[in-house]
Amino acid sequence: MKKTAIAVFVSGGGTNLQALIDAAADGKLESGEIKLVLASNPKAYALERAKKANIETAVVTPKEPDAEEKIQQILEAHGIRMIVLAGYMSILSERFTRRWENRILNVHPSLIPAFCGKGFYGLRVHEAALARGVKVTGATVHFVNEIPDGGEILLQKAVEILPGDTPETLQKRVMEQAEWKLLPAAAELVANKLMNEENCYVENE
């Protein structure tokens, strides 16, 4: 069966990208193949991770004219069927997300609907959780639509908040215990579904 071609969108260090690369190497992402890493920031270290893994890269900054059309053209040129947002800091338009309905995944560092939506990203999410005094946080993988963090939830995992936690220590624990496990698992779920759908379509032509 032909694997589902995946593009991973990044903006920074690429730790979630690395989790996907490692999962693919370990056979945990067997229905999909990471064919492209696309960055919104030309200095993103995630690009170095991609190059070390022999994955093709591209850079499209949000300020470029017709940025999303350029992204679409790059995706089509690489035969991409599915997108994973892994620390991608740009908001995709409704027009773009509708074009890729149920084919874009994102990982968010909280248990949606808590601490999510516009303005909640990175350390801000963990700062808000600690300020509220909740005892449990976690991560969520969801489909992406035009509403920030508003798409259908695929997987969630809870992470305990410990006495003395800082936003930084909490961020690290959520990544290690939840994000790096959930994102490859969800990517495999969706890649497998798309792979089976597309192979059935080919067989029935």
Query: What is the spatial distance between Cα 58 and Cα 39, in angstroms, rounded to a whole number?
Result: 6
Query: Strand pairing partners for 34?
Result: 6
Tokens of 33: 């193949």
Query: Which residue is catalytic, options 78, 108, 126, 142?
Result: 108
Whether 108 is catalytic: yes
Counting Cβ atoms within 10 Å, is residue 28 exposed (0-12), middle (13-18) or buried (19+)? middle
Tokens of 133: 């005094």
Residue 104 has φ and ψ, to the nearest 5°, of -120, 125
Beta-sheet pairing, 104-108 with 136-143: antiparallel
| Residues labelled catalytic | 108
